């Protein structure tokens, strides 16, 4: 009853309404993740902060001081890790310092900025589900 009456008009509007509902669900799940991370780490990280945390987790060295370049590398590790879940990247191995290296297997989809952000959010949420951090 609380849904927009426009959703009953035609197929294209139904599609748009379904897309809006999916986007709303994604944003709610994203906010819940950020709240859980705030409870766990004392900060409510943005996308960069979350990617940094994933990078540290995947590197496996624990908390330490990282240079600016290493922080960027950690975020790259995170992006490759989360997108490997959908077959975009594969872990190639580790270098002599234990840093993982990836190979790109297929091109990333051409998305506009908001779609890119939602694409990453979806993959981050899947990563945390696979890690049993969220349901």
Task: Supply the pLDDT for residue 4.
Answer: 44
Task: Kindly state whether residue 13 falls inside one of the protein's structural domains.
Answer: yes
**79-96 burial: b if 16+ Cβ within 10 Å, else e:** bbbbbbeeebbeeeeeee
Domain hosting residue 84, numbered range: 5-130
Task: Kindly state whether residue 78 falls inside one of the protein's structural domains.
Answer: yes
Task: Kindly state whether residue 96 falls inside one of the protein's structural domains.
Answer: yes
Task: Kindly state whether residue 41 falls inside one of the protein's structural domains.
Answer: yes
Mean pLDDT of 65-78: 95
Task: Supply the pLDDT for residue 12.
Answer: 54
104 phi, psi to nearest 5 deg? -80, 130
Could you report the per-residue pLDDT of 89-131, keeping only the tens digit for each? 999 999 999 999 999 999 999 999 999 999 999 999 999 999 9
When pLDDT is cut at 50, 70 and 90, the band that residue 1 belongs to is very low
Could you report the per-residue pLDDT of 9-24, keeping only the tens digit for each? 555 555 455 556 667 8
C-alpha distances out from residue 32 to 13, 35, 42, Å: 29, 5, 14
Beta-carbon contacts of 76 under 8 Å, excluding residues fewer than 6 positions away, are: 55
Task: Kindly state whether residue 135 falls inside one of the protein's structural domains.
Answer: no
Task: Supply the pLDDT for residue 90.
Answer: 98
What's the total number of domains in the chain? 1
- Per cent of the chain over pLDDT 70 is 83
Q: What is the pTM of this model?
A: 0.81
């Amino acid at each position: 009853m609380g849904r927009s009456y426009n959703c009953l008009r035609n197929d294209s509007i139904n599609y748009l309404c379904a897309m809006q509902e999916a986007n709303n669900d994604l944003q709610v799940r994203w906010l819940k993740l950020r709240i859980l991370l705030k409870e766990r780490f004392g900060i409510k990280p943005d996308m960069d902060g979350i990617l940094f945390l994933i990078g540290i987790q995947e590197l496996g060295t624990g908390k330490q001081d990282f240079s600016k370049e290493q922080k960027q590398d950690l975020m790259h590790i995170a992006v490759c890790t989360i997108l490997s879940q959908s077959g975009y990247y594969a872990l190639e191995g580790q270098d002599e310092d234990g840093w993982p290296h990836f190979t790109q297997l297929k091109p990333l989809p051409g998305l506009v900025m908001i779609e890119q952000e939602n694409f990453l959010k979806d993959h981050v949420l899947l990563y945390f589900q696979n890690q049993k951090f969220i349901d």
